[in-house]
Amino acid sequence: MQSTWDAESHHLSAVGHHDLDGSGDGMQVLREGDALYVGHFGPSGMGTSILDASDPTDLRMVRQIPSPAGSHTHKVQVADGVLLVNHEQFRGGDPYSAGMAVYDLADPFDPRQIGWFDSTGRGVHRIVWTGGRYAHVSAIPDGFNDRIFVVVDLSDPTSPVEAGRWWWPGQWLAGDEEPTWPEGKRYAAHHGLLSGDVAYVGYGDAGLVVLDLTDPTRPAQLGHLDWEPGGDTHTCLPLPGRDLLVVTDEVVDSSTEQHLVRIVDVSDPTRPVLVSHCPVPTGDYATRGLRFGPHNTHENRPGSYRSAELVFVTYFNAGLRVYDVSDPTGPQEIAHWVPRTPAAQQAAQVNDLFVSADLDIYVTDRVNGGVYVVRPDEELATRMRGAALP
């Protein structure tokens, strides 16, 4: 049954929504306990929102933290009673804040800043951290032309320090390197998801870069794979126990150039092999305006819903898509949800998501839609439970 927030739905329907108190440019979303953390894209001037999600059908705003002038703080990571928030220059702002803030979550609804990582340069873009000593971020430090992969030591959260870094040859302009990639392409780290001591990094137009983190102070390249059509590789999601990745290439504008969700075999991480791609949503999405194409996946964080067979992907104006990848040679779409177009917006722009262990799906819109809570119907819920990892 459709709700008032649904425009198109198949096995999914929205049961809750919050407009983020008028700052609806939601980006990364993550739930920890009863607290829902939302990073904001930036145009609203808001940085981080913390909501009470104890009743997902009635989200309540508890606290909002504005972003610093000239900056956006659109990414959040929570583990070990700590919140990490990126700081990055936004749309040429000057002055701006560049680095990563560390907050204590003794009160999960009232973060207290206890530490700061100074990235230098233009700041930190994306953070990957599920607890423990090391966080892995993409950042543009001084001397580099674009984002590189950086390991941050959080053993003392009040004073994080860089432990190691890796970049594509040609990015270190201060070291007299020159770009080694074709003109018009962008080689830049987005973020790397880990499987053991291996990081699978989306590296923009370079595609997938595989890094060995056995020694976190000296990340080393193991493998690489690119493809056509391609560009703006965003997320490389390892499927636990399967030697497979699900890889999204982000659409970054309103062009009709096709970007895909791919399945990659990494049984030999030094030689990744393309297996297949997920079906592209059918319909008039390419002509609706704004972005149409994949963005991020639910990242199987500890404590969240985890599966090696079902993959949840945000698809901008095509909403949320759920794929069954149990057969990697023939993935199938099994569910989708698209919200009604928010007011004063050309089309929906579903940006990020988080699937909780109780099967609620939190979804953001990057323009003005805020955050939605989407639930599976009983058929899909049964399938999700059957495909869940222990």
- The length of the chain, given as a count of residues: 390
Copy the structure tokens of residue 290. Answer: 């704004």
Q: Which residues of 326-348 are buried (b: 16+ CB within 10 A; e: fewer)?
A: eebeebebbbbbbbebbeebebb
In the DSSP assignment, the letter for residue 379 is H
Going from the N-terminus, what domains does the chain have, and what CATH number goes with each? Answer: 6-387 (2.130.10.10)
Predicted TM-score (pTM) of the model is 0.98
Q: What is the DSSP string of 210-243?
A: EEE-SSTTS-EEEEEE--SS---EEEEEEETTTT
Could you tell me if 200 and 210 are in contact, meaning their C-beta atoms sit under 8 angstroms apart?
Answer: yes
Copy the structure tokens of residue 66. Answer: 């504005």
pLDDT per residue rounded down to tens, the chain (390 residues)? 689 999 999 999 999 999 999 999 999 999 999 999 999 999 999 999 999 999 999 999 999 999 999 999 999 999 999 999 999 999 999 999 999 999 999 999 999 999 999 999 999 999 999 999 999 999 999 999 999 999 999 999 999 999 999 999 999 999 999 999 999 999 999 999 999 999 999 999 999 999 999 999 999 999 999 998 888 999 999 999 999 999 999 999 887 778 999 999 999 999 999 999 999 999 999 999 999 999 999 999 999 999 999 999 999 999 999 999 999 999 999 999 999 999 999 999 999 999 999 999 999 999 999 999 999 999 999 999 999 999
Q: What is the SS3 assignment for 40?
A: strand
